[in-house]
Amino acid sequence: MMERNGFTLIEMLLVLSMFLLLSMLSLRPISSLLIYQTEQNYLQEIASAILLAQTAAITHETPSKLTFSSQALTIEYPDGKLEKITTPASLTFHVKKNENFSFQARTGKINRFRTLSIIGDTHHYQLVFQIGKGRFYIEEN
């Protein structure tokens, strides 16, 4: 009689196929989670950049300018420095032409109020500039 001390080829293939099936099922949620996290990081980055532009306008007593295109936010600081923040592949600003805003010198108030839509693959966001002291917020739809 022959003694069995290991796994047969069929058993090994069965275990490997189950492992492959489970790993394939988990890849889809992980990729959408990574895209969502990339979008959240980008939204935090533009919020920080907008606040920096507003602060620069107040402290340098010269207006800061924001320009939104479909694929980027460009900020012109009072000292002439330009910063371009490109959107990730999963996001686009929903603008027909470039949208221009500026923060007033000394007060930091925005020159116009408006809501900009940011369209993502799975999530949609709104960047809302309010009337008043240059306040803004980003909300998820």
3-state secondary structure at position 57: helix
Query: H or E stretch including 133?
Result: none
What are the sequence ranges of the domains in the chain?
A: 9-140
pTM exceeds cut of 0.85: no
Per-residue pLDDT at 2: 61
What's the rounded Cα separation, in Å, for the pair 135 and 35?
28
What's the rounded Cα separation, in Å, for the pair 111 and 132?
9
Per-residue pLDDT at 69: 95
Per-residue pLDDT at 62: 94
Per-residue pLDDT at 134: 79
Any idea which architecture 9-140 has in CATH?
3-Layer(bab) Sandwich (3.55)
What's the rounded Cα separation, in Å, for the pair 133 and 3?
83
Pick the closest to residue 115 from 130, 104, 101 (CA basis). Answer: 130
For residues 77 and 100, the answer to whether their CB atoms sit within 8 Å is: no
Which one-letter DSSP state was computed for residue 106? T
With residues binned 3-state (H G I as helix, E B as strand, rest as coil), the percentages for the chain, rounded to 5, are 35, 30, 35
Q: Chain centroid to CA 69: how far?
A: 14
What's the rounded Cα separation, in Å, for the pair 138 and 32?
21
Q: What is the pLDDT along the chain (141 residues), one digit of tens a residue?
A: 666 677 788 999 999 999 999 888 877 778 888 899 999 999 999 999 999 999 999 999 999 999 999 999 999 999 899 999 999 999 999 998 999 999 999 899 999 999 999 998 889 999 999 987 779 999 998
Pick the closest to residue 127 from 30, 44, 27 (CA basis). Answer: 44
